[in-house]
Amino acid sequence: MSAPLRAGPQGEPAVPSSPEGACAGCGMGRRAFVGRSAMAVAAVLLAACGAGGGDGGITQPGTGGTFQVTLAGSPQLATAGGIATFSTPSGRIAVVRETDGGLVALSLRCPHQGTTVNPSGTGFLCPNHGARFDAHGTWQGGQRTSSLTVLASTLDPTTGVLTVQL
């Protein structure tokens, strides 16, 4: 049984219609179309938010298991105690500007069960079990676990690029 025809505007051919506004060729109703369209838009927006590390820093994959952060693109790292987070092929990392001006790179994978920890105040917090870590990644309280993994890194002072070993 085919869908009834609805007359088109002045001189246009008749088009199939149904109470749900279904497409005669695909069978997708108006609600399904709107829902899928909204999900597609949300996916595009989320992908755009994740571009470039999510914090405005200029980052790029390095070579041989490394990740590079251009400090000029990460204003959070201009002052002591600043924390910038980045998405890498190996997971999320944080770079922290220490009080002596040095930089430390940390894996944001909680050692307890692998959940991604988040910056919280001057340190980090595991959202699943409440483990707290200071800015150096040292466990401070909450769920008993070990400290965050410190990643080897080197700074090229000429270019301002920090290379992190993943």
- The position carrying tokens 């609805």 is 6
Residues 62 and 150 sit within 8 Å (Cβ to Cβ): no
Note the pLDDT tens digit of each residue in 31-86.
766 656 555 544 433 333 333 334 434 445 555 689 999 999 999 999 999 999 99
Q: Report the alpha-carbon distance of residue 93 to residue 129 in Å, rounded.
A: 19
Note the pLDDT tens digit of each residue in 88-139.
988 999 999 999 999 999 999 999 999 999 999 999 999 999 999 999 999 9
Q: Report the alpha-carbon distance of residue 84 to residue 97 in Å, rounded.
A: 9
In 3-state terms, what secondary structure has residue 23?
coil
What does the pLDDT read at residue 46? 38
The neighbouring-strand residues paired with 67 are 61, 164
- DSSP string across 66-132: EEEEEGGG-GGGGSTT-EEEEEETTEEEEEEE-TTS-EEEEE-B-TTT-PBPEEETTEEE-TTT--E
Residue type, 17: S
Residue type, 111: P
Residues 136 and 79 sit within 8 Å (Cβ to Cβ): no
Domains and CATH numbers, the chain: 5-52 (no CATH), 54-165 (2.102.10.10)
- The position carrying tokens 């899928």 is 36
Q: Report the alpha-carbon distance of residue 12 to residue 15 in Å, rounded.
A: 9
pTM, 2 dp: 0.63
